[in-house]
Amino acid sequence: MKDRKLPTLDLKRGYARIKDEIDQAVKEVLESQYFIMGPQVSGLESDVERYLEVPRAIGCASGSDALVLALKALDLKPGDEVITTPYSFFATASCITRLGGTPVFADVDPDSYNVTAETVLSKVTDKTKAFIPVHLFGQMVHMEELSKELEVRNVAVVEDCAQAFGSWRSIDETPVRAGASGVLGCFSFFPTKNLGGYGDGGMVVSRNQEMADRIAKLRVHGAGTTYFHDEVGMNSRLDAIQAAVLRVKLRHLDSWNEERRIAADRYRVLFAEHDLLGIVTPPVEDEGNYHIYHQYVPKVIRDRDRLLEHLGSEGITARVYYPLSLHMQRCFSFLGYDKGDFPVSESLTEQTIALPIFPEITEEEQEWVVSTIAAFYGKK
**Cα dihedral sign for 46, 47, 48, 51?**
positive
Return d(Cα 129, Cα 193) in angstroms, integer: 29
Q: Are 204 and 60 in contact (CB under 8 A)?
A: yes
Radius of gyration, alpha carbons of the chain:
21
Q: Are 168 and 176 in contact (CB under 8 A)?
A: yes
Residue spans of alpha helices (H) in the chain: 11-17, 19-32, 39-52, 63-73, 91-98, 117-121, 147-152, 209-218, 240-250, 253-273, 304-313, 343-351, 363-376
Return d(Cα 237, Cα 314) in angstroms, integer: 42
- DSSP category for residue 365: H
**Helix or strand run (H / E) with residue 105:** strand 102-105
Return d(Cα 282, Cα 369) in angstroms, integer: 14
Question: Active-site residues: which are they?
Answer: 193
Q: Which candidate, 243, 227, 220, places its Cα nearest to that of 65?
A: 220
